[in-house]
């Protein structure tokens, strides 16, 4: 193969491997949907990629395969915003046993008006959040990001306010969901979480 043919082949390969981005509402970070075939060990519910909150670098959810996940839609100016502290405490306590808290900021309830950088600074400086968080997106209705659309489909319940919680088992299946009023240290939530962390 001559030099020109090699360059053309390489360009074609790179183009075919480029990720596809799903359309999102104006003012929100693009939601990247993985274009390549996911690993066989990655559950269908985790076969999405989202921009990281801090730098919008694409983060595949498949990296959390085999973990117990607590997926939460968050906001900075909500009466439930102090739950960030409880979520971070939960993550710190159980992360070594396999828990990952995933935060998805959303302005669906008009309480998350800042940019991704402003949200990231607020979470870190106010609550010391270290669990993974993703760029602002919608979590309900026709504009919901694909993960929350699937969570609503599987549970029959989309978030009706900020800090709705979905618990996902190690097998990538939804175990339970909890309303905004259920705190991260709620005994029923903790009991179910402990059960899931004990499974392999």
- Indicate which residues carry an active-site annotation: 78
Among the listed residues 170, 157, 180, the one whose alpha carbon sits nearest the alpha carbon of residue 87: 180
Rounded alpha-carbon distances, angstroms, from residue 127 to 44, 113, 135, 176: 32, 18, 18, 26
Contact 51, 135 (CB under 8 A): yes
* DSSP element (H, E) containing 40: none
């Amino acid at each position: 193969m001559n030099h020109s043919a090699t360059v053309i082949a390489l360009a074609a390969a790179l183009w075919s491997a480029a990720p596809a981005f799903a359309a999102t509402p104006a003012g929100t970070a693009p939601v990247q949907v993985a274009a390549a075939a996911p690993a066989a060990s990655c559950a269908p519910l985790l076969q999405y990629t989202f921009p990281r909150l801090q730098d919008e670098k694409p983060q595949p959810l498949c990296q959390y395969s085999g973990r117990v996940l607590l997926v939460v839609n968050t906001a900075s100016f909500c009466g439930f915003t102090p739950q960030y502290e409880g979520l971070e405490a939960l993550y710190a306590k159980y992360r070594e046993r396999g828990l990952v808290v995933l935060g998805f900021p959303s302005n669906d309830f008009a309480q998350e008006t800042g940019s991704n950088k402003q949200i990231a600074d607020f979470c870190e400086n106010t609550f010391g959040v270290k669990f993974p968080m993703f760029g602002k997106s919608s979590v309900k209705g026709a504009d919901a990001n694909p993960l929350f659309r699937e969570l609503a489909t599987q549970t029959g319940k989309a978030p009706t306010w900020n800090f709705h919680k979905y618990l996902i088992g190690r097998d990538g299946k939804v175990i339970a969901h909890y309303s905004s009023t259920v705190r991260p240290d709620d005994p029923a939530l903790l009991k179910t979480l402990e059960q899931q962390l004990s499974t392999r």
